[in-house]
Amino acid sequence: GENVEQHPSTLSVQEGDSAVIKCTYSDSASNYFPWYKQELGKRPQLIIDIRSNVGEKKDQRIAVTLNKTAKHFSLHITETQPEDSAVYFCAASKRGSQGNLIFGKGTKLSVKP
């Protein structure tokens, strides 16, 4: 079955710096890759996603890149702010099992003012 590895497990940056979180997946049939942000005590919130027919997607300070050949995808956050502090999860799913998201273990991002 699908396995998603996520690195690093913790990341500390200064406000204004960029943050990059990387994930690899094992199943080449996976075609949908969302990223979720979960603040302490709150629900995971979808912040950006990418499908396998696209190499990069950007939404304001957040971008995701996908390398299908290498089976890895990354989340890039620029100009980080203290409110970006949270746990970020990457996930993968494939056609026919789209309700079955396989998650990485999460990255705890701390943005220091």
Partner 1 sequence: KAGVTQTPRYLIKTRGQQVTLSCSPISGHRSVSWYQQTPGQGLQFLFEYFSETQRNKGNFPGRFSGRQFSNSRSEMNVSTLELGDSALYLCASSLPTGIEQFFGPGTRLTVL
Among 32, 68, 72, 76, which residue sits at the site for partner 1 (rule: CB under 8 A)? 32
Nearest approach, Cβ of residue 93 and partner 1 (Å): 7
Tokens of 82: 């203290």
For 101, phi and psi rounded to 5 degrees?
Answer: -90, 130
Among 104, 107, 109, 111, which residue sits at the site for partner 1 (rule: CB under 8 A)? 104
Nearest approach, Cβ of residue 48 and partner 1 (Å): 10
- 34 to 93, contacts with partner 1 by CB under 8 A? 34, 36, 42-46, 49, 89, 91, 93
Residue 71 CA to residue 91 CA, distance in Å, equals 13
- Give Cα separations from 43 to 12, 15, 88, 89 (angstroms): 22, 24, 12, 12
Number of residues that bind partner 1 (CB under 8 A): 22
Nearest approach, Cβ of residue 97 and partner 1 (Å): 5
Asked whether the beta carbons of 21 and 6 are under 8 A apart, the reply is yes
Nearest approach, Cβ of residue 21 and partner 1 (Å): 14
Binding site for partner 1 (CB under 8 A): 32, 34, 36, 42-46, 49, 89, 91, 93, 97-106
